Chains A and B, each alone.
Chain A
């Protein structure tokens, strides 16, 4: 105790107590950033040109032209929606058994590992890479996009379902087991009520994601609004492209609003 001292200095203690580690991290970050910027090959001349061209480019977005390509926009949007709905439904149905298998407190060990493997693989590759391969295999069109989105949904939904089941209250599950319920009865009475509200919310959230993704699988030939968008870009019809982007933003906003509403209603 240094009560006698009149002044005591005070400095805010640093976030990382160990000075060596702290300085290593700082210096390491600085070196990394220097290298990252250094190796970024930027054609500044092109960028300078681009900013000028970019203005013209942006100007050519306005005003958005909804009318001249409206038929193909509408067709693309509808196709995207069909893909979104079917892939979400199929993806969720398929992800339920996988998710159940990937819950540690439910499944037998080999089944658990197998299901976790499926989830890991289907989550690693972005939908767009999956779409490239499905286009190669199944030909151009919405079917390839539908498959890619379904696989993406399995990875997303299955993982969250498995985690939710692992986090559920074991006491309730035990209570139902103790009355002598069969496995399926037990799922229906103990597991389902606990995970259902959150899973409905996540299902709607995934619908939202799938719609957004459906806009890009078209770029590699997977059908939907993405194909229309790419055509608009290739033909330098930027005003039509702007219209498409606005339509996408609008639909996503509507989806987000309704999904928020439904989620509130479910819980």
Chain B
């Protein structure tokens, strides 16, 4: 009890003494870990470069303006590719994610002990590997280009979409399904009448949400050769063409803002 009586007076404290110590100890431990990590990073840092950074930044900024607007003519196709990578990748992801999600959800999985763990492993491995790493592998396998980007985005998004979707499936109202079961419906009909209508809004929302994220991610896939505007960014940086770099950054900014606007509109229309 945090209320104590000292010399006939009731003293209220937020925590008991022991709890207070535990809290302090927790903070101390946290700070110690942070300081330790920080030391390790700062050991590997050449502080001269860091102190010099503001000058460097000013220098870079100076060389970046004005953006080389004429370069825009060469950017239209990369932008188009970038959007396609995101869209087709999302499409591929949801086509694969739907069956995976049904296998992973506790209430629809064909087998809890065999199929479900496999589905969960697909989800985790797809989610933990960044699309850039997927792209790195795919470029080695099928060569550089848009296709590698599409597949990389697709593989990365399967886990994301399937995870959110299977959580939505697990949260459905079971009595509605029970009512369909009671009519003597087959398993496939239970899915299409009892479960699918309930998860439709979540499904649409997840797709649009992931598409929005994928637009962002597909802008950088070019860094490892998987198509899109990242290719131009990479080559402009390596040739130190800073005025092109600034234009590309502006284009990325615009693409992301437009995609965010579009996805907000679509989500609004669905819900």
Q: Do chains A and B touch in the complex (CB under 8 A)?
A: yes
A residues with a Cβ closer than 8 A to B are 32, 36-37, 39-43, 46-47, 50-51, 53-54, 57, 78-79, 81-83, 85-86, 89, 124-126, 128-129, 132-133, 136-139, 141-143, 146, 212-213, 215-216, 219-220, 223, 226, 229-230, 233, 245, 248-249, 252-253, 256
> In the docked arrangement, what's the CA distance between A85 and B233, Å?
30
Residues of the A chain whose Cβ atoms lie less than 8 Å from the Cβ of B137: 233
- How far is it, in angstroms, between the C-alpha of A142 and the C-alpha of B39 when the chains are bound? 12
With A125-B249, A132-B237, A143-B44 known as contacts, the answer to whether A138 contacts B88 (CB < 8 A) is no
Q: Which chain A residues lie closer than 8 Å to B219 at the CB level?
A: 126, 129
Q: What 0/1 pattern do residues 116 to 150 of B give for CB contact below 8 A with A?
A: 00000000110111101100110011110111001
Q: Is the CB of B96 closer than 8 A to any CB of chain A?
A: no
Total A-B residue contacts, Cβ distance less than 8 Å: 143
Residues B124 and A229 in contact, CB atoms below 8 Å apart: no
- Bound Cα distance A193, B240 (Å): 50
The 7 closest A-B pairs by CB, nearest first: A252-B128, A50-B142, A139-B49, A82-B37, A143-B45, A46-B143, A54-B141
Which residues of the partner chain B approach A126 to less than 8 Å between Cβ atoms?
Answer: 216-217, 219-220
| B1 at the binding interface (Cβ < 8 Å) | no
Across the interface, B60 reaches (CB within 8 A) one of A46, A136, A146, namely A136
A43 with B50, Cβ < 8 A, contacts A143-B44, A248-B128 known? no
Q: Interface majority SS on A: helix, strand, loop or mixed?
A: helix
B232-256 near A? 1/0 per residue, CB < 8 Å: 0100010000000000010011001
Size bracket of the B interface: 35 or more
- Cα A150 to Cα B253 with chains together (Å): 20
B44: A residues at CB distance < 8 A:
79, 141-143, 223
Taking the complex as formed, is B19 at the interface, i.e. its CB lies under 8 A from any CB of chain A? no
Determine the residue in chain B with the shortest Cβ distance to A81: B37
A129 B143 Cβ-Cβ under 8 A: no
A176 CB, min distance to chain B CBs, angstroms: 17
Instruction: Report whether B140 and A40 are in contact in the complex, using a CB–CB cutoff of 8 Å.
Output: no
Q: Does B53 sit within 8 A of A, measured CB to CB?
A: yes
Interchain nearest-CB distance for A243 vs B (Å): 14
